[in-house]
Amino acid sequence: MDQPPLSVEPLLTMTGIAKHFGGVMAVQDVDLTLGRGEVVAIVGDNGAGKSTLIKVLTGVHVPDEGVITLEGRQVSITSKRASQALGIEAVYQDLGLVDTLDAAGNVFLGHELKRYILGIPFLRNARMAEEAARVLKENVGIELEDITVPTHNLSGGQRQAVAIARAIYNTDLKILVMDEPTAALGPEETRNTLKLMRRLKDQGISLIVISHNLDHVFAVADRVMVMRGGRVAATLDCKSSTKQDVLAHIIAATDGNVAA
């Protein structure tokens, strides 16, 4: 199914993407477009190809076929580092945090601020704590009561905020991929996470969100792309579509009469 047209030139296009593992075709002939400051949700049953597609975008997998264009220029994404250099980051469901480190240690993980005294490097812990607190407050909208506590003592929503702050701080972020961002969160933290996603959109950051929760999808997404069997079954505008419509495509119903 053709995708609803964007009003301006898309920030990202993925055209004809295919990826196979041995004799298994995980993704085949997939097209995706993403506008600036747009939220596109990708939904579908387990094994539909959602994770493979975003791992192609973030450099975990190299596509066997297809073209990726960013800001009108064809790009080659062959590694996670290459993806990050283009301003593409991902926050996966496991968040990738080091639980024994505090928020600042995780935000600056691999990019620690240092000063040198007689040629000996010393971590600028106070500066990193100050910067981490600033990014969390100004960009993510979260204030931690104590930024020095290990992240395993933080709530699920706070840990998610730290992972996002790391993505924002270490790259000129254009696109953030979020894999099941509300999974295992309580009601209040879910509301805070959805609010955070809207905040990122308002800052001009484009989001690709994988989720099984259609209520959450319709709360934040502009468009929803349904994948089935490694292909795109449909791409729907959230303003003119319903959860019923999306469910019908997920289960391949033809008459749309699907129970909520």
Segment 113-165, tens digit of pLDDT: 888 888 888 888 898 899 899 888 888 778 888 888 999 888 888 888 898 88
Q: Tokens representing 241? A: 């579509």
Same domain, 179 and 249: yes
Q: Which of 120, 138, 170 is the last residue of a domain?
A: 170
Same domain, 200 and 76: yes
Residues 212 and 257: their CA atoms lie apart, in Å, by 20
Same domain, 177 and 83: yes
Residue 92 inside a domain? The answer is no
Residues 222 and 234: their CA atoms lie apart, in Å, by 14
Same domain, 56 and 2: yes
Q: Which of 148, 170, 192 is the last residue of a domain?
A: 170
Q: Which whole-number Å values give the CA distances from 69 to 38, 196, 251, in the listed order?
A: 16, 27, 31
Same domain, 226 and 178: yes
Same domain, 50 and 179: yes
The beta strand positions in 150-195, using DSSP E, are: 175-179
Same domain, 227 and 111: no
**Exposed/middle/buried for residue 47 (C-beta within 10 Å: 0-12, 13-18, 19+):** middle
Residue 258 inside a domain? The answer is yes
Residue 72 inside a domain? The answer is yes
Domain boundaries, position 166: 99-170
Same domain, 15 and 65: yes
Same domain, 36 and 134: no
Residue 93 inside a domain? The answer is no
Q: What is the pLDDT of residue 177?
A: 95
Residue 94 inside a domain? The answer is no
The answer to whether 32 touches 40, Cβ cutoff 8 Å, is: yes
Same domain, 65 and 113: no
Q: What is the CATH number of the domain that holds 81?
A: 3.40.50.300
Tens of pLDDT, residues 58-101: 999 999 999 999 999 999 999 999 999 999 999 887 778 899 99
The dihedral built from the CA positions of residue 248, 251, 257 and 260, taken in this order, carries a sign that is: negative
Residue percentage of the chain with pLDDT more than 70: 93
Residue 128, phi then psi, degrees to nearest 5: -65, -40
Residue 91, phi then psi, degrees to nearest 5: -115, 105
Residue 9 inside a domain? The answer is yes
Over range 217-238, report the average pLDDT. 95
Domain total of the chain: 2
Q: pTM of the entire structure? A: 0.84
Same domain, 166 and 184: no
